[in-house]
Structure 1
Amino acid sequence: MVTVEQWTGREAVLLQSVMRLSNRDFASTLGVAFGTVMKWRRQGAELVPLPATQQILDAALRERCTDEEQQAFYARLSPTVPAQALATDFSVPALGPCTVVSHKFLPAYIGDAATTLSGAGEHRPAGPGGLEQRTLPAGHPTAEVSRVHVFACGVAVVHLEEHHRLEALTDLALWRYRTYLADRAWAAERLAGLSPGKQPTGPEYVLSAYELRDNPWNGRGLETALQLLTTPSVLVDRTNPDDVVSLGPDVEQAKFAGGWAHPEAIQFGGGVSLGLAGWSGVAYHPQPDERALTMDDIVALELDAQALWALSSHVLAMVEAGQDPVMPREYGWRYLRGAYSRLTAARPVETAQHRAMREAILATSELPDRLRSAQDALRDSSP
């Protein structure tokens, strides 16, 4: 069996992934500082823990992991481990049809145009970040649900919900990249049409969250499916953004056979439900007969997170352009400080599953660091 000759941040993050622990729970389990875990995530293979910490990681793998978790760890550590060497529970079925609900979030800073849109919108309860918002129908031509969420701080987030029946996850990856540019252009035109006389900036990016419903996978196969949903770039060739093509069905099959996992993705969930958060998106497979998170919980967090990302990006763009960042007083650094606190602080009524989901999404998005930077910039420029 492959062994860990030298632990780095990459192997430590891999251990956290197979143990399915949040950043704080992983730190508590090992008896290390929360900041240490975050350094492992940021620096990966470039960071080599001290010998004493190497021993702690050895013991955690040997004594705190189940046999299945150890096998999953070794399989991901060494892609050369043959599939037949894994336990029966980790058997990988042939690729088969599955149902995926796609949620796209397209955030844009629109400034004063938000006032115009808010007046025509329907009031919506504040989400986890406590941001005041209203919604308008977006009228997307193919989405089952499409809304424009207008935030009082000057941001709009277009939310598109689209349902897919797939024969392979590569099909979804192709659809994702082939529609991103068109969706951004459509959203920019839609926002401009909703606020005549204004010229709001269009979305700079698209963030996806996927709900995996009926599917042929379990165990390691289900984990791999969520990994591929979160990081679909490994299934396609994006050399030409205008003509993204499949790398072929053999690539997807090989990922399942080898138990592919992105080293920086963070798992969350509870019971038989399973979720995964990464830089480019979120994937979740809920079990309705369990007391699990719902996709609505994830969507609510992402709406606030993407709104704050767009707001902080606007502030930092002014700084990078050599300008003193200026925002209305009610949306200055104190506003960002309050949003940061609401998003990052645990609540007494919050379940462990919800906390793990929130921490995973915030950690992989790097939003907390961005909010602090924007907050400092606004404070420094305040008279």
Structure 2
Amino acid sequence: MAVVVQWTGWEAAHLGKAMRLSIREYARQLGVNPATVMKWRKRGRAIELMPETADILDAMLRRCDDEVLATFRAALGSDGGPGADDAESAPLDLGLPLGPARVVSHKFVPVYIGDGVRPLFTEAEVCPLGPGGLEHRALPAGHPDAAAESRLHLFACGVAVFHLVQPRTVASLGELAAWRYRSYLADLEWATAELRRLLALADSSVEAGATYVLSAYLLEDSPWKGHRLETALQVLTTPSVVVDRHHPDGPQRLGDDVERGLFAAGYSHPDAVDFGIQAVSMGLAGWSGVAYHPLAVERALPMDAIVALELDVQTLWALSTYVLDEIEAGRDPVMPDEAYGWRWLRGACSRLTAARPRETAQHQLMREAVLATSQLPDRLRAAQEALRASIA
């Protein structure tokens, strides 16, 4: 049994890491503010915890299983344990690798086009239903800088979603983040122009305008291990920490020292939700994206499962946004078919939020993490009520 004589921020933070909990979930279980856990990680042994907090941590430690205890015990005995210099005062390790990393970027660009979907269905290929059970077909996307598997998914409920697959080998995560922000602007312009071209060919007068991109990253290969790999996933989920988005020349990488500082001290965003499985995979979901890294490829989730969920989530997000925007503008939403009313939205919401009998634990964790960070269920319920009220 690992015993802590004096709990400091260092020991408290490492217990949460050993339990593989996100900052927010760890804080919830302890009954403290997520900002407190972030302070523990940042200031380490400079913070001695109050007896009341130490008692809570002692109780949590007693409930941990042998595997978590072994991980925590190893952390206590590592070079970063008691007696080591604080992370803030330690010099940066110039030999700490910042890359290269092999990443597959998956971008989702959803656009509500209503009736414009119908004429495009003719040449499209029928697709299997995703977790939300949404009927859809797909065409080749035709993006100039995306792999052959990129597609335009056309959903019968009136939404078009570009799924752009772009493998990248980058020298650093900052390089990837800067590319991400720069390419978003170009991709939004391209998606708008491409949809308008397709709609014009189909003699549709529907206007299309892409306004939003969500990313999902598959980290295939990198030089990082242990807590540095955890930090890499966090940065993939919240890339703004390594980029100056307001630079006059466009988004710019902040530099080697910033990234080395994050890897040396560790970085976690309190809103990122962990859906990894110990020794199988590492996964994080955040507001702006998802990051995934299989540890045991044969047992981990296929990326196709994450893509299928995101396609349905982004479709329902775009649809509910259209409904709520129309209501706020004082107009009644016009759905592509009367079948896609509030009852249909209620069914889609139920299919996404309810556990399935044959659903694996990995699928459930992933689904719950994506839904929690997207806040889609609340938005869908608001859209349901709006549609219901509009026909009352």
State TM-score, norm by structure 2: 0.80
3-state SS in 2 of match to 1:66: helix
User: Does structure 1 retain, via aligned residues, the 8 Å contact 2:105–2:166?
Assistant: yes
CA distance in 1, matches of 2:382, 2:69: 41
Matched positions, count: 352
Deviation at 1:248, TM superposition (A): 1.2
Unmatched tracts of structure 1, length 5 or more? 46-51, 86-91
Q: What are the superposed Cα offsets for residues 19-38 of structure 1, whole Å, 9 maximum, x if unpaired?
A: 33599x989x95x9xxx99x
CA distance in 2, matches of 1:380, 1:15: 49
3-state SS in 2 of match to 1:210: strand
CA distance in 1, matches of 2:291, 2:310: 12
Residues 153/22 of structure 1: CA separation in 2 closer, same or farther (3 Å cut)? farther
Deviation at 1:273, TM superposition (A): 1.3
3-state SS in 1 of match to 2:320: helix
CA distance in 2, matches of 1:297, 1:122: 19
User: Does structure 1 retain, via aligned residues, the 8 Å contact 2:96–2:260?
Assistant: no
Q: Counterparts in 2 of 1:342-357, with a 5 A limit? A: 342-357=351-366
Indicate which of 91, 113, 118 corresponds to 1:110. Answer: 113
Indicate which of 206, 213, 218 corresponds to 1:206. Answer: 213
CA distance in 1, matches of 2:34, 2:156: 34
Q: What are the superposed Cα offsets for residues 44-103 of structure 1, whole Å, 9 maximum, x if unpaired?
A: 99xxxxxx999766632564253645959xx9xxxx942899xxxxxx942221100000
3-state SS in 2 of match to 1:195: helix
Residues 322/302 of structure 1: CA separation in 2 closer, same or farther (3 Å cut)? same
User: Does structure 2 retain, via aligned residues, the 8 Å contact 1:333–1:376?
Assistant: yes
Deviation at 1:2, TM superposition (A): 6.0
1:82 and 2:87 matched: yes
User: Does structure 2 retain, via aligned residues, the 8 Å contact 1:279–1:365?
Assistant: yes
Q: What are the superposed Cα offsets for residues 176-231 of structure 1, whole Å, 9 maximum, x if unpaired?
A: 00110110000011111111132332221100000001111111011001001111
1:95 and 2:98 matched: yes
CA distance in 1, matches of 2:99, 2:56: 41
Indicate which of 145, 169, 186 corresponds to 1:165. Answer: 169
> Match for residue 174 of structure 1?
178
> Match for residue 320 of structure 1?
328
State TM-score, norm by structure 1: 0.82
> Match for residue 256 of structure 2?
249
3-state SS in 1 of match to 2:153: strand
3-state SS in 2 of match to 1:243: coil
> Match for residue 383 of structure 2?
374
Deviation at 1:41, TM superposition (A): 8.1
Deviation at 1:120, TM superposition (A): 1.9
CA distance in 2, matches of 1:60, 1:141: 53
Residues 299/336 of structure 1: CA separation in 2 closer, same or farther (3 Å cut)? same
CA distance in 2, matches of 1:102, 1:379: 38
Indicate which of 299, 304, 311 corresponds to 2:319. Answer: 311
Q: What are the superposed Cα offsets for residues 115-151 of structure 1, whole Å, 9 maximum, x if unpaired?
A: 1112221100110000000001111111113210000
1:226 and 2:233 matched: yes
CA distance in 1, matches of 2:244, 2:213: 18
CA distance in 2, matches of 1:211, 1:140: 20
> Match for residue 156 of structure 2?
152
Residues 2/57 of structure 1: CA separation in 2 closer, same or farther (3 Å cut)? closer
What code does the residue aligned with 1:179 have? S
CA distance in 2, matches of 1:140, 1:225: 28
CA distance in 2, matches of 1:167, 1:225: 13
> Match for residue 131 of structure 1?
134
CA distance in 1, matches of 2:197, 2:384: 32
3-state SS in 1 of match to 2:122: helix
User: Does structure 2 retain, via aligned residues, the 8 Å contact 1:192–1:198?
Assistant: no
3-state SS in 1 of match to 2:264: helix
Residues 84/121 of structure 1: CA separation in 2 closer, same or farther (3 Å cut)? same
Moved over 6 A (4+): 14-17, 52-55
Q: Counterparts in 2 of 1:56-75, with a 5 A limit? A: 59-60=59-60, 63-64=63-64, 66=69, 68=71
Residues 282/369 of structure 1: CA separation in 2 closer, same or farther (3 Å cut)? same
User: Does structure 1 retain, via aligned residues, the 8 Å contact 2:275–2:366?
Assistant: yes
3-state SS in 2 of match to 1:308: helix
User: Does structure 2 retain, via aligned residues, the 8 Å contact 1:192–1:200?
Assistant: yes
Unmatched tracts of structure 2, length 5 or more? 1-5, 39-51
What code does the residue aligned with 1:359 have? E
CA distance in 2, matches of 1:341, 1:208: 25
User: Does structure 1 retain, via aligned residues, the 8 Å contact 2:99–2:173?
Assistant: no
Residues 21/259 of structure 1: CA separation in 2 closer, same or farther (3 Å cut)? closer
1:363 and 2:381 matched: no
What code does the residue aligned with 2:138 have? T
> Match for residue 89 of structure 1?
none
Residues 347/187 of structure 1: CA separation in 2 closer, same or farther (3 Å cut)? same
Residues 343/368 of structure 1: CA separation in 2 closer, same or farther (3 Å cut)? same
Residues 339/20 of structure 1: CA separation in 2 closer, same or farther (3 Å cut)? farther
Deviation at 1:265, TM superposition (A): 0.4
CA distance in 1, matches of 2:298, 2:16: 24
CA distance in 1, matches of 2:235, 2:59: 30
What code does the residue aligned with 2:181 have? Y
